[in-house]
Amino acid sequence: MKAKDYPLPVVEIACDHCRRHGKYRKSRFIDLVGENTELPHALSIIAADCSEDRVTPDSMRGRCRPYYAQNWWGAVCKEPS
């Protein structure tokens, strides 16, 4: 899924390790990461200034583990009315 396809009007991102937490209007989020950026990569863009090491394919030791804090699965799977 790409940033432009995010199903909610507000994008909420958090990290349990460093306790960072942020909310972006979808339009601002798209401005920051680009509309065609895949959502997993968008997390890396948002967390680029984190001082903690990030998990990479070569190392799982990173502590920076940002995630989408909202439960948006219901919005994705919602059946049309």
> Quick check: 81 pLDDT over 60?
no
> Quick check: 75 pLDDT over 70?
no
Distance CA 18, CA 2 (A): 26
Average of per-residue pLDDT values in the chain: 83
* Range 45-59 average pLDDT: 73
* Range 71-76 average pLDDT: 71
Residue scoring higher pLDDT (18 or 25): 25
DSSP 3: G
Cβ atoms within 10 Å of 21's Cβ, excluding its own: 12
Least confident among 10-19, 51-60, 70-79: 51-60
**To 5 degrees, how large is the angle CA 42–CA 46–CA 48?**
110
Global confidence as pTM: 0.75
